[in-house]
Each structure stands twice: as C-alpha cells, then as structure tokens.
Structure 1
Amino acid sequence: MIDEAQHLGFDVLEQIRLLTNLETDEKKLLQIILTGQPELASMLSRPELRQLNQRITARFDLTPLDRAETRTYVQHRLNIAGNRDDRAIFSDSALREIYRLSGGVPRLINLLCDRAMMGAYGRQQDRVSAGLIGEAAAEVLGSAPAGHGRSGRGGRWAWILAAVVTLSGLAAFVTGSRYLELADRAEVPVSEPQGSAEMVAIPTPAESGPLKSPLASVDETSRPWLLKVEDAESALWQLWSGQALQVPLCQAAVGNGLQCERLSADTWDEVIKPNRPAILALKRENGFAAATVLLSVSDAGATLWTGSAVCDASLTELASVWRGQALYLWQTPKGWIGPVGEGDSGSVVSEIVDAFAELDNLPAPPLDTYTPALAERVREFQRLVGLEVDGVMDAQTWQLLSDRLGRGFTLKKATRLALNKSGGAECR
C-alpha cells in the first residue's frame, strides 16, 4: 500500500505499471494499493498515464456521512468516550446543525462537537444546543462555517483516493473531496479496462506507440448538460450574480451574503424542496465526477442549465448518473452564523423581526432580542408552511419566509432568467 500517491512522479508510476507484469502461470504476484488526495484522480487521467489507468479494474467512492449516519457517528463517539447510558448530550437541532455545517465530514464533525462541548462546559450546561454549534463553527472554522465558504481549492476536505493492482491489473478507488469539489476535473476521457489478465497484453514502454487524442465520449455527445464541476459552479453563479466566477463558488457566496447548502437526497422532491436552483453531483461513464444545474423537475423531465443553454433531460437518464447529492445557494439575513432561537440577539434578530412585520403588514418594533413572542410567531409560520415546529429560525424557515416576501431566488425566477440569458440557444 502506498499512501499519498498523488505525490508520486511519472517515472515511479510507470514502474508501478511495469510491476503488474510480474506473474506466474496461475496468478499475479503483486497487489498494489494506492491511496491519496483528490489530485490522484486528476493525475491518473492524464494522457501519458493512460496505460496505467487502463489497468484500473475497480473504483470506489468514500462519500460523506448522511444525516442519520452523522447522528449515529456522534452517539458512537460519545459512547466510546464513556457515555454508557446513551444520554442525549446534543439536542436534535444541534445534531441537524452539525450535519449542515460539516457536510457529513467526520473530521469537521469532531471539531464542531469538541469545541461545542467545551463551550457547554464553560457555561455549566449539560446539553449542547444548536446555538453552541454555530458558535463553535465560527471559532474553529472562521467566519464562514464548513461547507459554507471554506471550500476553496486549497482548503478542501481531502477524501481518500485509492488504487489497487489486482489479478487483472490496477484497480482504483477514486473518491471526491467534500461533495461537489470531487476528485475528477479531467478533460481527457479514460479508456475502460479491457479483458482479464490472461487476455490483455501489457506493453512495455518500447512497445507503446504515440498517444492519440481520444474520441469524444458518449457523455459529451448525447448529454451536453453533463458539465465539469467548475463549469456547473460558474453556471449557477452566473444566474445568481450575472458575473463570472473568479473564486471557488462557496467563497464567492460568503462574500456576497449567500450561503452554500449541501444536501443528500433520495428523491427529486427532496432536491427541489428548498425551491432554489441546485448543482447536482453527477458521474461520468468512467466513474469520474461531473455536475449540472437543475432548474425544475416535472413529470415530463428535468430542466437543466449549462451556462449558455437550457436543456431538457428525462428523469430516468438524469437519475442514472446522479450521485444523490446537491448544492444550492440561499440569501442569509445579516449577521447569520447559524440557527437563531430564544435568547439570541443582534442584527440577525432585527432582520427576522422586520421580515415578519413586512409579512404581517405591521410596523416593525425596535427589537434585536429573540423573545418568547418572536419564537411563537416563528412556530406559527412553521405550522403554516409545514415545517418542524420548534420556534427556531433555521435556514429552511428563513428561505420559506423569504419566498413568501418575494425575495427568494426561486426555481421559477431562475428558469425565467436562464431562458432569457440563453436567447433560445440550442442545447449542445
């Protein structure tokens, strides 16, 4: 096993390829496992490493934990630390906030929980609230919580990429970094492995001819909406701001009063529930990452945005390449660092008060503290729109409140804008 394999030079990787020649009449003599950062996938996709890449026989993704797994993971770590009676140290809203801020990344979950428990200890509290999680995120992750602005190219969570040399050559485990910042940003399609060890002739460098430009893949010709991840990010940002994306998407979002929200979903209804245009995490035929921008879903199919054209796709075809993850942007109230509840204060509370005053067509009181009366007004609104009724102003509650006021950048608004921008351009 070779760790941090993305640092290997071309000559070393070529020697690894040659080691796959070592075999008896019955079996291969070596099994090589490569593990590394997301750059390993990009490196393997380079044309000069095509022969090595052709020996890959298996690829696996290690994806972030989902919401339920995050809850189970936190409880397991607490039990290992001595919480034998399964006491609920973290409230339900705190666990939801941990998942939202961490994106299901274990390292970030550990950081948030550790700092939040220290905060609870310092305040002599025996339970961690969502507010403490928000404060912990601000302390350990900076002003932009994980998954909401700290996803720059150099600060990504490094998920494992791995490759294994098996009986028929090289098998690669290719894993992305957090959600959309996935491993593959390769522009050169990679040939699929052909045959087994007994059927494949393994050429030496002397036998290898000059590399030719590969033909366009089926993805590129029949699915013009299947974009590189950075192109999908640029397309979404173009809709939101009308400008070119100069920095990583979530970094640009934070600088403009927006937040990145990541979600894992099993159905299209879950994806469109926030009512915001979303980037879908997709996969190419070779298993590497791709993305597209979703504008709408109906019985007739999905409407997608490429940055220059509006495309239609059947839900069956889209589902066949979807990884079950999505990302969308939403406008935050000023001073937002996380869910707001009773006892909180500041400009974020004032904006919540102003929003309800506008909704109720009443003058806004000069209030900057989250009072029991405000919590009850939030509960009334949550009951009205069918949300969990807890009196806490979380992201979903604020998004629906913004939509009621006509402020939200909804799917309908995004579709209309995309159609105007495309000017009737053909989807190709």
Structure 2
Amino acid sequence: MYAPFFGLEQPPFSIAPDPRLLFMSERHREALAHLLYGLQAGGGFVLLTGEVGTGKTTVCRCFLEQVPDSCSVAYIFNPRLTVVELLRSICDEFGVARPPAAHGLETVKDCIDPLNEFLLRAHAAGRTSVLVIDEAQNLAPEVLEQLRLLTNLETSEAKLLQIILIGQPELRALVAQPQLEQLAQRVIARYHLQALSRAETAQYVAHRLAVAGLRGPLPFDRRALALIHTLSGGVPRRINVLCDRALLGAYSRGEREVRPATLRRAAREVFGGAHRVAPARPAWRAVGAGALAGAALVAALGWGLGWRVPGGTGQQTAAAIGSPKASAAAASAVSAAAPDAGAPAGKGQEDGAPPPSALAQWLAAQPEAGAGEAAGWGQLARAWQASVPPDAADICAALARSDLRCWRTRRSSLAQLRQLDRPALLTLQPPGAGSVVRVLALLALDGEQALLAGAGGARLSVPLAELTPLWQGGLATLWRAPAGWPASGTPPAGSAAAIWLEQQLARLQGSKAPTNRPRAGRRNADSGEADPSARVRRFQSEQGLTPDGQAGPLTLMLLNRAAGVAEPRLSQRGG
C-alpha cells in the first residue's frame, strides 16, 4: 500500500523469511560461528537460545546453507514428540530404514540399532552426522535424556552424533534442571542471541529499505531510529512490525518522514501496552495469531483520520480482502469440494469425509523418496538439455560431465524459490499419519499455480496454497558454473573464471572492470573497488545473502539471473 509513496519496489518490513532481506549483525555472526564450531566439535551438545524474534531462524538458515557436502544433517522443527516419535523422525531425516513394526509396538531399540549402524557407516566414510532441533524448549525431560543417550553412540576415538539445540530462553532453564545434570555437562558450546544494539537497529532499518529499492533519504531521521530501538527493544521481528505500521501511518497522513509521534502511535497499535525495551512475548503471540493478517486494513482505519470506506462497512471490506490463511483455506475447501473424476461415485462420502484432493491422490501414486528423487533429477536434467544415464550410481557426478552441479538445502522458502527462479526438487510430506515423503520436480511457478512433474513424466498443476503446507523447505536444484570454475572454493587470481566474475559484477554495478586484477589491499583506480571480493560482498548484500565475499553456488545462481544468462526458469513454463 505505502511502498510506491516512499519510492519502494516492495514492502521492506515483511516478517516472512525473505533471503533478500537478510541482515546479519555481529551477534548473528557470533551465533553462526558457534553452530559451525559444532560441526568439528566431536560430539556433545551446542545450545543456541534467544528471545522470540531475535533471529534464531535466520542464523539456523545460514548454518544449514553452509554445511559442507561431507556432513549429513537431520533437522527436527516440531519437537513436541514422544521418545519413540523423535527417534523415528531422526531416522526418517537421515534416511535410515527401520524394520516394520506393528502400530504402537515399535520400541526404542527398533530405531536405535539401525541408527547406530548408519552413524558407523557415515563415520567410516568420513562423514559427519549432525542433529539440529529447533524450538527445543518444547522437548520433554525424558526426550532430552534420550538425546543424551544418543551422544553415547561412539567409536573408540570419536562420538558419532553432534546435537544442536535451538530454542527460547526457557531451554537454558530446562537444561539446568538437576535431573538433566549429565546432559548439561555435555554442552560444549552455548550462545544466547541478544537483541540488536541501537547502532545495529539503525543499520537493520537502512538495510531493509535499501533492499526494498529506496534510493533517497531514509523516512526515519536519527531521532526516529533511536526511538525505534527503544520501542522495539532491538528485536528484529518487533522492528519489522513497528516500522511497517509507522510507514503506513505516515502514508495515511501524506508525510514523507515518520515522526516520533507516529512511531509511538504505531507502537500502541501493534504492541498494546507492552512496548517496553524488554521483548513482550505475550503481545507477540497476539500479533502472530491474527493482527498481521489484516494489518493494512486495520492500520489504515485505525489512524483516526476520519476515513470512510466507500461501498460498505469495515467488516465487509475485510471479508472482501481476506487474509492469506483465509485464501489458503478457501483454496483447500474448493479442492476438497471438487468431484474426483478418478474415484467411484460416493467414495469417501458415506462417512461424511471429503474425498482426497487431486494433489493427495497424485502424490500417493508417486514412488517414494529414493526412486522419486532419481526421476526428479532426470526432469531437471531435461530442462537443462542434459540427461542422466539410467545406470548412474551418483547422479550429481554424472551430471557434472555436462558441466552441471547439484545444490541442496534443507531450509529453503517460497521467497528463496522465487528468487532463484529455476526448476527444483521439493521434498514433500503428504498428509496423514505414517505417510512417506515424496521428492517431486517443480518445473514452473505461474502466479499462484505450481507445475509438478513426477515419475514417468506425469504432471500436475496445483495451487501453491495446497502445495506449501506439505513442503518443509527441502530443496535441490542444478546450476552451471562458468568455464574453469573450481569444484570448491573460488578461482585463483588472474584465471579466466576470476576475470569473468569481476567483469559480470562490474557490469551489473555500473563500474569499469579492471583489465588486470589488483593486488590485495590496493584500490583499483578505474573501478574504485578495493579487493575484488568487495564487489562480491556488495552484490551479496544487494541480494540478501550473507556478505562473506565468497562466490559460492547461491551467489553465482543469482548473478546469472541478474546478468540475464539464458537458463531454465520457473517463471517461464517449459514443455
């Protein structure tokens, strides 16, 4: 609503995990360093805690994207599980097959034995196994004790499993309980993620506005930025909601600059009476539960300017606009109500249950993860005009002969998927107890419709509102490296690949590419850039990546897209 008024190309303060808006403060980098340390720590627990909204998920996302290929990661995002359910989930995440057991009769040993065998094989192959549990403050004490016992899985020289627990401050108190003393003694590193400082809050706001397209002065002056920190406590999620509402208020008044009075009024709107320096967690639960769904309407009507909505009441307008959750529910209801041409008449309706959706039926007909993934790689390869030999033992190695490389992440998002804009494999968890994951190729995104491809070339167009609840972030895709690009790391100075990288970045950034690579620490007189990695960091910041100066797969994929390199795209439906 207010974005064009302030010269913005997109809303700058969305609370969705958009990778383009990523901001890593010094505290976030320290937290990330602790998690990365856990990869080489040789067993035990690593704890990352922080208040709601301080960026634990941001740090976890960065960590999962930097995990090396030699590391196997199991990620548990819903830890409200029994001991057996947790062990079953860990086995599923690692892809460990378990012997079938009668429902309700599966024991801890049924999971521990095959898991131990898997960890031993991984260790023998030089692989590290890491278990990451998010929202770990919800773990029951008996489940934590079982996790401690998992760290007993070891060889004579090394532990087989590293465990990382991420949660709210209650996790520290939970681990400190006397009955968990043995677990507490195995914590090898812990970090509590604090809120942003006043200076970091100002940097955060400026960064978000710049990524959103702001080219002129900030709509917040120095006094307003200081007040944002005071009102939000420096908690990024609270900053987002406060600034979003304040910009909407300024827009409704026709003001190009957000005044302190507007900020205070916005704080009362979104935080109620809880806008203190310390994070007010109950108020946040209220905001997360429903206030954001109608933020634009409620805020626009709540500024007390005497506005009237033509053609009906506020309630009618809200019903017409709808919330994202309402839209998703409506799409699901339409899908459930649609007749199923492939099912016998009356099937599933005798007991009052709706017939399964077309997506659920289609997923049930697809092979399980292993065979489905192989078929999916074949679909992606065809999009790149390549092929996978039917007897290929290592699909990614086979595709490397066509100069294609595989890239995987366990924690992607719809925003990142749209940003990468390339066909990908999605790991989907079909609804229903005991359902088995499926890996399908996503070939196109046309607005709010997704085109999936399965085994045998079967395709299905499905609304995103039906697809996204089944996708927990597992993603894999292909990318083509420039000629001469090394298998790992960045190209050596002066190589053709290094020169290509500098030329592409210089063209995108509107500066002159150096003909000879400058020595480290010297500024190139023509380009104005110091070290070539400065160009990479600048591009990464503009794209919302962690600005580490290393041109990895994500950086190169986004660079090719920005440079207009002809590659398969999700936004252009293929045949």
For the superposition of Structure 1 and Structure 2, which TM-score range results when normalised by the shorter chain?
Answer: 0.3 to 0.5
Query: Normalization by structure 1: what TM-score?
Result: 0.47
Give the structure with the larger helix fraction. 2
Query: Normalization by structure 2: what TM-score?
Result: 0.36
